[in-house]
Chains A and B, each alone.
Chain A
Amino acid sequence: NAGVTQTPKFQVLKTGQSMTLQCAQDMNHEYMSWYRQDPGMGLRLIHYSVGAGITDQGEVPNGYNVSRSTTEDFPLRLLSAAPSQTSVYFCASSSRGDLNTEAFFGQGTRLTVV
């Protein structure tokens, strides 16, 4: 079982470069979300989606774009990387409904912006 797959695992960018962090899930989950993890800050929500074609902003959306063209994929785009975006990024998915609400996380992408 693949679950939630994130690529790449590590990435170094120069300030101003753009890139896309990939996230794919094979559990047919409606809900997907992106979090960033910084020391002492916990997991902060960047963007989320409740289904294909629907996205919304979370707590820290500035500098990031998302799209959800399929149920399986939820890429996160950095348009012009800044050192403040150095972080570990996690993608998560869960199913809709109140009975089965476990969120499954990917292994993370460690991003360094120099």
Chain B
Amino acid sequence: GENVEQHPSTLSVQEGDSAVIKCTYSDSASNYFPWYKQELGKGPQLIIDIRSNVGEKKDQRIAVTLNKTAKHFSLHITETQPEDSAVYFCAAKRSGYSTLTFGKGTMLLVSP
């Protein structure tokens, strides 16, 4: 089955800095890679996703890059703000499958 590794487990940055979270996956047939943000006491919420036919996708301050050959993808957050503080999860899924395989999560702390 699929295995998703996520690093780092914790990340502390100053407000305004950039933050990068990296994930690797094992199943070369995976073709959908979402990123979820989980705020304290809430369920995970999708913030951005990318499919295997695309190398990069941006949405305002967040971007995701995908390297299919190396089987890794990354989340980039620029100009971080205190409200970006949360746990971030990467995930992977194969076409036709109904469930996601998640990484173990990254706790991002943005200090004012």
Q: Which residues on the A side are within 8 Å of B46 (C-beta)?
A: 102-103
Q: Which residues on the A side are within 8 Å of B6 (C-beta)?
A: 42
Most interface-central of B41, B44, B89, B98 (chain A CB within 10 A): B98
Contacting pair A48 B99 (CB below 8 A): yes
CB distance from B112 to the nearest CB of A (A): 26
Q: Which residues on the A side are within 8 Å of B41 (C-beta)?
A: 107-108
In the complex, A12 has a CB within 8 A of chain B = no
Q: Which residues on the A side are within 8 Å of B102 (C-beta)?
A: 35, 42-44
Contacting pair B104 A40 (CB below 8 A): yes
Q: Which residues on the A side are within 8 Å of B98 (C-beta)?
A: 30-31, 33, 48, 50, 94, 96
- The interface size bin for chain B is 20 to 34
Interface residue tally for chain A (C-beta within 8 Å): 25
Contacting pair B104 A107 (CB below 8 A): no
Q: Which residues on the B side are within 8 Å of A94 (C-beta)?
A: 98
* Closest 8 pairs between A and B when the two form their complex, measured CB to CB: A105-B43, A42-B104, A31-B98, A43-B102, A42-B102, A50-B98, A105-B44, A102-B46
- Where the two chains meet, the residues of A that have a C-beta atom closer than 8 Å to any C-beta of B are 4, 30-31, 33, 35, 40-45, 48, 50, 58, 90, 94, 96, 98, 101-103, 105-108
User: What are 18 A-B residue pairs whose CB atoms fall within 8 Å in the complex?
Assistant: A30-B98, A35-B102, A42-B89, A42-B103, A42-B105, A43-B44, A44-B102, A45-B99, A50-B98, A101-B32, A101-B93, A102-B34, A102-B46, A102-B49, A103-B46, A107-B42, A108-B41, A108-B43
